Structure 1
Amino acid sequence: MPGLRREEVAALAGVSCDYYTRLEQGRHKRPSETVLYALAEALQLDDLATRHLIDLARAIAAPQRRLPKPSVQRVRPSLHRLLDTFTEHPAFIRGRRTDVLAMNKLAALLLTDFPAKPARDRNLLRWALLDEEARQRYVDWEKVVSSMVGTLRLDAGRHPDDPLLAQLVGDLSVRSEQFRRWWADHRVVERRDGIKRLDHPLVGRIDVFYEALEVTGEEAQTLFVYSTDPGSESESKLRVLADRTRSAPVESASGH
């Protein structure tokens, strides 16, 4: 909590100042969950930040081991078929590190055609940060992308030994001053539902709502489905894009 001195935090958490100091300095690597929850309460962390704190503590306490070769996430065929049935709704599956693992034609037209990109570039955060197309597409670009950075920070707490995540963070840190600033904030974000305000080159301003649904039986795969308000101008514009996907091959609206 901003403004609290170290001894005040320790007192609120019910631990000694010396113990809290050792925790801060990494000299005590196995705090109990009781202590962690007490610290979270003292610091007034919300549920998500508390879970992130516990993830970090577990990672520090875990014994060092040889890192496995990172495996490539794959989407099962039945989910590909499911995505293709959403002809009126943009939908895609996001994996670890904000990688886009699969998407339907309407999502590719609404955002960008991730499946057509090289494997390294099928990453939502990389595209949003580094591609001018994304800056033009998101009306609230800074809000959206800083939130994506918070999602990546949450993933880093859950998978601290992921070499591909470390590579992504390193690359984005070199290439984007904004990423470096947002990453240093240590903010964590879990996206469940919300609204995206888009400025699409084919139909103009369109507002879509999203729902994030965890894929059962798959680790770290989330299905995102977009919708619009019934009877709204955005619904009509989304229908125009849907008709376009049925009449022509999908390509990025900017011509990429």
Structure 2
Amino acid sequence: MKKSMDNSERPAIADLRSGFASLSSLLRAWRAEAGMKNGRRKPLPQKEVAARMGVSERWYRSLETGTPMSLSHETLTSLADALELGPHERAALFWNALSEIVDKGGQEHAEIKMDRLKEFVSAQSRFPAYLIDHSWNVIGYNDKMAEWFPWVRTKGANLMRWVLESPESREQIVDWPAHATLYLAQLRFALVGYPDDPILNDLLTSALRSPECRDLWDSGPRIIAFRQGGEFRLSLPAISASELMVTSQVLLPAYCSRVRFVTLLPS
């Protein structure tokens, strides 16, 4: 059984963040996980990763130490296979390697498009739907979402903060620890792309004050881009006398790479 660290043994929060601030750090974390998957007590050697990819050890070492490289789809696929990445980790790898789409329409057009997105979300009437930014701030929602989760109406509502810090979430999300682990994995990935974002850093700092969240964070370097098709069992007595099983469907609007549209569909 994994031994919990006391406060004197725990690394500083800044160190935890810096461990996930680059592709190099992601690769080192995934190499460590690959070693664990293969029953080893140490990371998969760089030489073995290179052999699995069919590249030289020097090439892979350069990639992991941060040398800028052009990575094709085939190379990324080979890298994911060599590190035995699951679907979420593969998404994180490809997402990290892709350049952000730039909207040449300017800030004025961006605001208009965001308003239209909010109108689209609020117009949904059958299932709960919401719009969040890259820091999980709730920037739009429909009536059904507010009916299921009234907290979205509060000023500064943030999905990540609610999941990780609210006592209510522990009651409403069945098997909360498993889902909190996945949200922390998404927070790790967000910090890869936005290591200096003040909201993300505050979310991590605040969440890790909770012993439960700290233990989940320490349990392993899981990294997830987003939870497309994630299943949740919800206990919402005001909505249903029995537990609800829902699946999250995540859409990434064009030219709004920092925004996600999510709807909860009954499973």
The bucket for the TM-score relative to the shorter chain is: 0.5 to 0.7
- Post-superposition CA distance 1:3-62 (Å, at most 9, x none): 4434322322344445545655x3x53244266654333212246424534665789xxx
Aligned to 2:126, the other structure's residue is in SS state: coil
Pair 1:167 & 2:205 matched: no
CA positional deviation for 1:125: 1.6
How do 1:214-225 and structure 2 match up within 5 A?
214-225=252-263
Using a 3 Å threshold, how does the CA distance of structure 1 residues 5 and 134 change in structure 2: closer, same or farther?
same
Secondary structure at 1:49 match in 2: helix
How many Å apart are 1:96 and its aligned residue?
0.7
- TM superposition shift of 1:134: 0.5
- For 1:154, the equivalent position in structure 2 comes to 189
1:41 partner SS: helix
User: For 1:123-143, what per-residue CA distance to the aligned partner results, in whole angstroms no more than 9, with x for missing partners?
Assistant: 112111111111000113122
Matched, 1:82 2:117: no
Residue in 1 aligned with 2:174?
139
Of 144, 152, 163, the match for 1:106:
144
SS at match of 2:262: strand
Residues of 2 paired with 1:19 and 1:80: CA distance?
A: 46
1:195–1:210 contact (8 Å) kept in structure 2? yes
Quick one: distance in 1 between partners of 2:225 and 2:185? 5
Per-residue deviation, residues 166-201 of structure 1 (Å, max 9, x unmatched): 232222223344245336523224222243211113
Instruction: State whether structure 2 residue 219 is matched by structure 1 residue 190.
Output: no
Q: Is residue 96 from structure 1 mapped to residue 131 from structure 2 by the alignment?
A: no
Instruction: Calculate the TM-score normalised by the size of structure 1.
Output: 0.67
Would you say the 8 A contact 2:95–2:225 is kept in 1? no
Letter in 1 for 2:252: E
CA distance in structure 2 between the aligned counterparts of 1:206 and 1:162, rounded to whole angstroms: 34
Comparing 130-139 and 14-23, the one that deviates more:
14-23
Q: Which has the larger radius of gyration?
A: 1
* Pair 1:30 & 2:68 matched: yes
SS at match of 1:200: coil
Query: Percent of aligned positions with the same letter in both sequences?
Result: 25
Q: Distance in 2 between matches of 1:127 and 1:74?
A: 29
* CA RMSD across the alignment: 3.2
Partner deviation per Cα, 1:197-227 (whole Å, 9 max, x = no partner): 1111323322233322222342322222223
Structure 2 residue aligned with 1:245: none
Counterpart of 1:41? 81
Instruction: Identify the match of residue 201 of structure 1 among 212, 237, 255.
Output: 237
Give the secondary structure class of the aligned counterpart of 1:192: coil
Summarize deviations over 1:105-148 as a string: whole Å, max 9, x none.
Answer: 321231242232x42xx211211111111100011312222222
TM-score of the aligned structures, taking structure 2 as reference length: 0.64
Unpaired runs of 5+ residues, structure 1, are 60-72, 230-256
74 and 169 in structure 1: CA distance in 2 versus 1, 3 angstrom threshold: farther
Q: Which residue of 2 aligns with 1:5?
A: 45
